[in-house]
Amino acid sequence: MSNKDCIGSLIEVSVNNSSQHRYTLCGEGYIAQNSLTEFFGLAQNTEVDYVKVTWLSGIEDYFYNIQANQVFNIIEGNGTLSINSLNKQSTSVFPNPVKDKLILKSKKQITKVQIISQLGEIVFSMSSINDETVEIYDLNKHESGINFLKVFFDTDTYIHKFIKD
């Protein structure tokens, strides 16, 4: 852990495809110090899709499905999944929700895909793909609910949340 107070780190919170950002500071004025607590307004939403913290060390921590109205303490390196940023417009996943077959299309060559459950378990993995389109069949044998599709490229990783009917 290089920065226990998260000072200088960027925090992103996403709710319903809308993001809020905070930059953590420790003091902005003469003989002043800010609270190390960050607040995010969620309106009527009861859950955050994800919280992303970009630490000064370069580590990116992601935390998924955080309930509203609570204090959530974050420790560097303890996210459920750490990934590099990727332009979401370059990758599409459909249909969502999915019943049996999930299709993934990208402008970049995909090397590997994984489906990760809400508990963080890898429930499906396919490697040595080297293609821009991937079709994942037989999802009807997987449990219903929220899952995450982790897509690997040569230098980047992308995570997409999807619902299995």
Q: List the domain boundaries for the chain.
A: 10-67, 88-164
What confidence category does residue 87 fall into, taking pLDDT thresholds of 50, 70 and 90? very low
What confidence category does residue 110 fall into, taking pLDDT thresholds of 50, 70 and 90? very high
| Mean pLDDT across the chain | 82
pLDDT score for 83 = 44
User: Is 165:95 a contact under the CB 8 Å cutoff?
Assistant: no
Instruction: Judge whether residue 35 has pLDDT over 80.
Output: no
**In Å, how far are 53, 78, 108 from 155, measured between CA atoms?**
20, 22, 10
In DSSP terms, 152 is beta-bridged to 112, 157
pLDDT score for 28 = 65
With 0-12 / 13-18 / 19 or more C-beta atoms within 10 angstroms meaning exposed / middle / buried, residue 158 is: buried
Render pLDDT for 45-85 as a digit per residue (tens, 0 to 9): 999 988 998 887 777 888 888 888 888 888 777 765 444 44
User: Is 11:44 a contact under the CB 8 Å cutoff?
Assistant: no
Instruction: Judge whether residue 42 has pLDDT over 60.
Output: yes
pLDDT score for 100 = 93
Those residues with Cβ within 8 angstroms of residue 73's Cβ, 6 or more apart along the chain or in another chain: none
Query: Which fold does the domain 88-164 belong to in CATH?
Result: Immunoglobulin-like (2.60.40)
